[in-house]
Amino acid sequence: MGENTWVLRRGVHNPTASTPARLPYSVRRTTAVDILRPDGLEGPLLLHGSGRDLGTHGDGSPVQFDSVHSTVAIDFVGGRIVVSANAGQMGPDLTALVGTRAGSGFRSALAAALPHDAREHSLLHRVLDDVPVATVISGYALTREDPDGAAVPIARTGAVPRADYCAGFATGGVFIGGIETNGTSPVVIGPPAPDLICGPDPLAWHQMKDLPAKGMRRLRRIDVRGEDEIVVDAMFRDSYVDEHCAETVVHEYHLDLTARADTLEIITAVATPRVLPWPECSGAVAAVNRLIGRTVPDIAPLVGGEFRGVGSCTHLNDLLRSVVDVAELSTKPAALH
């Protein structure tokens, strides 16, 4: 083998096959952000958000607490600048977000624009909080849509990976090694995406449209139940639909967590990688042990301040940050009795 030989090895490819049943006296939050470029690669990036909070009574009957829809348009090639944002006719005014960058600083702008939603971890806040990460992962679609069918130059995606930024970008790993060897960002095609939405329970997820060809979606689900001890089952999945309408999984993580109901102190936390692009990515799961003994409100500042470098994963960090919603969701099961 020559000195420039480079072998692409993939990470874990074991996507979840179905969505668990809704349990009595539980609350389920589901959200989706559809990541679309209807006017082509040079056109605006459209992020269509949707979500629902659904409770389940002891007899299995449902109660809807909330539902939301939003649309954020981003000038991706012009600096990832938000050019329009709305939450529908019944939603709050989001014009304060226009002109912000859909990256660093967006979440601070969101908190300033919707202080109550940010403080109360509302459903709308959760959907809009995904704007920065949805913008980043939208670059995956650009790599898949290269007209030559090969890995595209890093400059095309607008992102320059930094070695040792996270576990997947570890020096000497598959991703960074591929860039150093070939000068392009390597691309892994993920496994086929099992259908999580169309199952035996039509209320398992909120209603959403089918993804069009060359579209992406970030799905989230978080189930919360329990009285003395709160039990949390959370997950997210990023997927892509190719030109033949075949959907594949890009990233998927699951998190099982328990916490005391009175203090929200975390008792147990286990992260399970289901689909990740690079073999080094899974090395970050041990980081969740640092959550034990902390409280749910502690998670976001802890992750933001300390979960960095090759012992971390940006996608796992994002899932952990979303668990702060438990602070709100855990108050709802009392209304189900």
State which of 69-73, 179-183, 296-300 shows the largest mean pLDDT: 69-73
The least confident of 212-221, 253-262, 268-277, 279-288 is 279-288
Query: Considering all CA atoms of the chain, what is the largest pairwise distance in Å, rounded to the nearest integer?
Result: 68
Mean pLDDT (whole number) for 312-329: 92
**Residue 93 forms beta bridges with which residues?**
none
Mean pLDDT (whole number) for 165-178: 74
pLDDT for 164 equals 66
Q: How confident is the model at residue 8 (pLDDT cuts 50, 70, 90)?
A: low
**Residue of 72, 332, 102, 115 whose CA lies nearest to 226:** 332
Query: Is residue 207's pLDDT more than 50?
Result: yes
Query: Is residue 4's pLDDT more than 70?
Result: no
Mean pLDDT (whole number) for 208-219: 95
Query: Regarding predicted confidence, which is higher, 6 or 145?
Result: 145
Q: So where are the chain's domains?
A: 26-336
pLDDT for 154 equals 38
pLDDT for 187 equals 77
Q: pLDDT tens, 156-171?
A: 444 556 776 787 777 7
Bridge pairing between strands 247-260 and 229-241: antiparallel
CA distances from 285 to 8, 113, 217 (A): 22, 34, 23
Mean pLDDT (whole number) for 320-329: 94
Q: How confident is the model at residue 3 (pLDDT cuts 50, 70, 90)?
A: very low
Mean pLDDT (whole number) for 109-117: 96
Q: pLDDT tens, 54-64?
A: 999 999 999 99
- Whole-model pTM: value is 0.91
Mean pLDDT (whole number) for 88-104: 93
Q: How confident is the model at residue 274 (pLDDT cuts 50, 70, 90)?
A: very high
Q: How confident is the model at residue 147 (pLDDT cuts 50, 70, 90)?
A: very low
Q: Are 206 and 50 in contact (CB under 8 A)?
A: yes
pLDDT for 146 equals 60
**Residue of 53, 11, 14, 48 whose CA lies nearest to 32:** 48
